[in-house]
Amino acid sequence: MSENLYTFENETYKTAYRHTSAHILAQAVKRLYPDALLAIGPAIEDGFYYDIDSATAFTPEDIEKIEAEMRKICKEKLVLEKFELPRAEALKFATEQNEPYKVELINDLPEDAVISFYKQGEFTDLCAGPHVDTTARVKANALKLTSCTGAYWRGDSNNKMLQRIYGTCFMSKPELDEHLRKIEEAKLRDHRKLGRELDLFSLFEEGPGFPFFFPKGMVIRNELVNFWREEHRKAGYVEISTPLILNEEMWKRSGHWDHYKDNMYFTKIDDSDYAIKPMNCPGGIIAYKRKMWSYREFPIRVAELGLVHRHELSGALHGLMRVRNFTQDDAHLYMTPEHISGEIVALLELVDKFYKVFGFDYRVELSTRPDDFMGARERWDEAERLLEDALKSKDVTYRINPGDGAFYGPKIDFHLVDCLGRTWQCATLQLDFQMPERFELEYVGPDGEKHRPVMIHRTVLGSLERFIAILTEHYAGAFPLWLAPVQVIVMPITDRTKDYAQQIADALTDSGLRVETDFRSEKIGFKIREAQMQKIPYMLVLGDKEAESGLLTVRKRSDGDIGSMTLPEFFEMISAERCPY
């Protein structure tokens, strides 16, 4: 690796740098706690982690000691040396090191495998790499251990709970400091915290992974759905609803049984086996098959806000970001081969339009054929070419994500970027030649004969719940006017102006705004602070002067007092904010 490639602009080097940091973490743990057993330690998006089995329950003080030892190891300039062993010798080596988790990993490898290890000083770890050449590459003043949590071995709750130490690292201290600042900002924006404080949504131990939405949260949800429905109506979609439960045979036919059954919930009805849907596509396909379509009716664009259930491990659950039931803003498009390119381009434009409303930039990935793909390789090659051609025709910058397509087709994934620079995969577009074959979908072509349609599966928001979590963090709970649960609060200064305040509140409500009044016998400063904490966009302060003149004193959440105006002037001022689409 040449010197000019030693930069985080080079993804390979960034991964190697952070992977080496994980090994430095493991070495530091073994120095301080020799009886600790090592599991796995990969590089991840913002750093690295290592799973450790130790009789010591690591405290914040222990984490500080481990971090200090890591800095020493960086300064020791230990060379990383790779060596390989046949499987039998690798097993013997890991056993002699008393590393049972490494023994288990080696046992899972083929008999004829040649297994690699990396050595740095006195420390050796089972590893496929890659790594940097020396621990000195990792800047001692630019690494930080960020947390220690529990994690089941191999993500299986039947296995032992290990301790997972997370860390992050950069190539300079200013970069680390900026990242840590963003972490602190992210804590303030945590949707779980804001969901409770603003009384929007929550999760309870009586239903882990199953979210509750409260009245104010439902306002946000319903406004998103109204926006979604209006834009889909304009784009030529019709809407359907399909059942939550379908028989098991349907899921075997669709391929989900072979590829997804470990993430599904099952039930029995009348002694027959049924599954709760993890996807909407099979139900949408049944709806398509209710009649014979003509090519003249194509393309058919069918949308569904479908509630799906997926079994997620308890350790993977995270607020609304990772749940066990959620609403997908799904759609399935049926078309002739001639329609494919035009429909893909239209979908690229639709996603772009949606994300611009929220002020999101986004990145695009083209995910190609996975190892467990269904169907003919030639069909996959054709589908990947069509997706790539559409991206190029719109001058979309994208990167290839090899092997990460759905089992039935390649896909374009959209990763939106929030105000902290974090990325979230939301929209997806999957081109599918396989499901129409498996379910024998047909239409009548111009020749009067039956033909097989092509399908596109797609979402724009993705999971409605997850998208609301992203918006909550992106806006830090200060939603734009059109999404805000309460848009205006009316606050009389004294009891003398209650009647005037009620008249103003009624006029605002009649205009379609979501309004609250605060008639409590509290000082106006206290009322303003509380309204500010509830992140209400506009506050109308009404005293004797306002009642006599028929004016409003207006405070804006972001700007404070913006002066006095008439009610028509207030309506005019907020008109553009009331509906951005």
**DSSP letters of 498-535?**
HHHHHHHHHHHHHTT--EEE---SS-HHHHHHHHHHTT
- Report CA-CA distances (Å) from 368 to 423, 434, 453: 20, 15, 21
One-letter amino acid identity for 554? V
In 138-271, alpha helices (H): 173-189, 191-197, 215-234, 248-254, 256-260
| Catalytic hit among 102, 189, 332, 527 | 332
DSSP string across 449-492? SEE--EEEEEEEEEEHHHHHHHHHHHTTT---TTT-SS-EEEEE
Between CA 344 and CA 350 the distance in angstroms is: 10
Output the CA angle 521-524-526, nearest 5 degrees.
90
Catalytic residue, from 310, 322, 339, 466: name it: 310
Query: What is the amino acid identity at position 338?
Result: E
* CB contact at 8 A, 23 and 125: yes
Active site residue 221: no
User: What tokens were used for 309?
Assistant: 């259930």
328 catalytically annotated: yes
Q: How many CB atoms lie within 10 A of CB 160?
A: 12
Does residue 131 have an active-site annotation?
A: no
Among the options 120, 163, 328, 430, which is catalytic? 328
- Catalytic site residue 419? no
Separation between Cα atoms, residue 48 and residue 167, nearest integer Å: 5
Q: Active-site residue among 51, 62, 329, 330?
A: 330
- State the catalytic residue, choosing from 139, 339, 379, 411: 411
**Residue 452 annotated to the active site:** no
Which position among 23, 144, 179, 457 bears the catalytic label? 457
Task: Please name the residue ranges forming H helices in 370-412.
Answer: 377-393
Distance between CA atoms of residues 411 and 431, nearest Å = 6
Query: What is the distance between the alpha carbons of residues 136 and 70, in angstroms, rounded to a whole number?
Result: 11
Question: Does the annotation count 426 as an active-site position?
Answer: no
CA distance 124 to 66: 18
- The CA distance from 366 to 276, in Å, is 30
Considering the candidates 148, 169, 281, 426, report the single residue annotated as catalytic. Answer: 281
Beta partners for 365? Answer: 399, 413
Active site residue 457: yes
Report the catalytic residues. Answer: 281, 310, 328, 330, 332, 411, 457
